[in-house]
Chain A
Amino acid sequence: MAAGVASRLLLVAPTPREAAAVRTSTVCGAGPRATEAVDAMLRVAPRDLVVIAGVCGGLDPSLAPGSLILCRRAVNEHGDERIPERALFEQARRAFRARRLPFVSSSLLTVDAPVVSRAQKTALWNRHGAAGVDMETWGVIEAAAAHGVPWLAVRVVLDPASAALPPSLHTWSGEPDADVLRRVLRRPFEWPSYARLALQARSALRTLAAVSPQLSALSYRLEEPINLSAVTAR
């Protein structure tokens, strides 16, 4: 990647619904499959910048559903961390501020399985200090880094730190909505939880949609040289 204006942006989202919100057609899949998907995409068509956008579980208890998180540090369960390229990060920050989008810049934690209970969320918050938790960011970043491509991650809180996920989502690994719906219909006692989650999802997707123009514009605004040495692993 040379210094100058980046023009080839790969904007990915884990699910079709998140992709629709950020107005991209590139769905990388949920969970570990996102890594392979992004790796394959970068092999087929080299890019200058990878951005992952989607929803996440909230760990920072001050963040309500729909809160926007700009990743300043990505971390996995083992404590490995990666930092986005500074110029990109600052540019996104400036763009969000210019649009008066409320956001926090914080850490994002990637885990292998859904984080479902309040106790789990509290423990992860205490341990990692990450504002949000998801199942793809780290993998997508790894794939981008393997290709020498700078990255940026943006997440919006779906379920806040104070909320547990419905039990039938505890084993969720990115199945289509129809499969989830079938499971939910068999468990009427979970319907209130799903109703709440649906409202939270609406709020989260609305925020994703609001930030979408800023994300798409990133690739065309990059005017500073990208310093890949800033992308580090512990």
Chain B
Amino acid sequence: MGIPIRQAMAVSGYLLKQKLKGNKRYPLVLMLEPLYRCNLACSGCGKIQHPEPVLNTYLSPEECWAAAEECGAPVVSIAGGEPLVHPQIAEIVAGLIERRKFVYLCTNAILLERSLPNLTPSPYLTISVHMDGLRDLHDAMVDRAGVFDKAVSAIREAKRLGFRVSTNTTVFADSKPEQVRDLFNFLVDDLDVDGMMVSPGYDYPKAPNQDVFLKRPQMIETFRSILSFPERKRWRFFHTPLFLDFLQGKQAMQCTAWGNPTRSVLGWQRPCYLIGDGYVPTFRQLIEETEWDRYGYGRDARCTNCMAHCGYEATAVTATMASPLEGIRAGIGTMVGRNA
């Protein structure tokens, strides 16, 4: 199964409503970071280099729900940090589901098996497990042995309990297309995950190892190789076909930074999930006071090597809605559980 029909319909309805209202900028996915604290220190991560007082600050469930209501996006992706480190994460998730939000609970899965009894399977909840490669590559990327095996075990248990499980793979310079292919085959064939997300790593200036990041032309080449393997037909992505075209350089796109607004312990992050040019206290201020046209590929040097789904999937979704042909293509993908 690809993107669930219920979610696809809800997002389409939401988009239509925004168009009818004449809204120019509206969020699709709220990136909720209820904490920056993590139990890993991955070499390509730029999220966890905050000072201790910030790392010790957690958003309360009420703050998380208020952020979801304030922003109004139909989808909430809970990231961080490691969300399962948050002592009230189950409460946060339950409250968001109560508000009819499609929740993607992102996790490295180290604490997942222990947390599963506190969570309830729901068509609104997807557990999104971070998987950068098979055992050796993944453990190297997260800089700790045994994490891959823990994640695999947790995915199996979550599936057994009836949870929807997807994976999120970041492609780095060290990831060979064949390795990514083997990982996707494993995730689909052995673990039977409901869907996969894939994105090139963003070259966070704060990341401890700057050598792991691909430059834009390399990204395009790498994704062309990955997505040209014959097995691709079996892979179920939680992406629009247009976004996958974009990754292969077949589709020109500009970033839609406001599509995935980020609420963290520091406030609403300006302008996007990956770049922190300051924080504002309200979502309205974020949307109205940010100079959005200053950001994007070609406009800001920090966007040069960014092809991440948090910036471009919103563009792809909007373009899909605007084109009947692309709409049909994405619809078929949703119905048959594969990307056309």
A: which residues have CB within 8 A of B? 59-63, 72, 102-107, 121-123, 125-131, 161
Query: Cβ of A61 and Cβ of B254 under 8 Å apart?
Result: yes
Cβ contact within 8 Å between B299 and A105: yes
- Per the bound structure, the CA–CA distance linking A128 and B304 in Å amounts to 9
Whether A125 and B294, one on each chain, are in contact in the complex, defined by CB atoms closer than 8 angstroms, is no
B255: nearest chain-A partner, CB-CB: A62
Do A126 and B252 form a contact, CB below 8 Å, given A102-B293, A104-B293, A105-B294? yes
- 16 further contact pairs, Cβ within 8 A, besides A122-B252, A126-B220, A129-B298: A59-B252, A60-B252, A60-B296, A60-B298, A61-B252, A61-B253, A62-B254, A104-B296, A105-B294, A107-B298, A121-B252, A122-B249, A126-B252, A129-B297, A131-B298, A131-B299
Contacts of A59 in B (CB 8 A): 252, 298
* Residue from the list B220, B250, B299 in contact with A104, Cβ < 8 A: B299
| Range of interface residues on B (Cβ < 8 Å) | 10 to 19
Is A122 in contact with B299, judged by CB distance below 8 angstroms? no
- Closest 10 A-B residue pairs measured CB to CB? A62-B254, A129-B298, A122-B252, A61-B252, A106-B298, A125-B252, A106-B299, A104-B293, A126-B249, A129-B297
Which residues of B are in contact with A by a Cβ distance under 8 Å? 216-217, 220, 249-254, 293-294, 296-299, 304, 315
Q: How many angstroms between the C-alpha atoms of A179 and B208 in the bound complex?
A: 60
The DSSP consensus for interface residues of chain A is mixed
Which of chain A's residues have a CB closer than 8 A to the CB of B217? 126-127
Closest Cβ–Cβ distance, residue A109 to chain B (whole Å): 10
B306 → A minimal CB distance (Å): 11
A109 and chain B: residue at smallest CB distance: B298
Query: Cα distance A105–B298 when bound, in Å?
Result: 9
A60 to chain B, nearest CB (A): 5
CA–CA, A59 and B293, complex, Å: 15
Write the nearest CB–CB distance from A187 to chain B, whole angstroms.
27
CA distance in complex: A62, B298 (Å): 12
Residues of A within 8 A of B249 (CB): 122-123, 126
- Give every chain A residue within 8 A of B298 (Cβ-Cβ): 59-60, 106-107, 125, 128-131
Chain A residues positioned under 8 Å from B315 (CB to CB): 62
CA distance A165 to B304 in the complex (A): 27
Query: Smallest distance from the beta carbon of B180 to chain A beta carbons, Å?
Result: 20
Q: Tell me, in angstroms, the Cα distance from A1 to B183 when the chains sit together.
A: 61
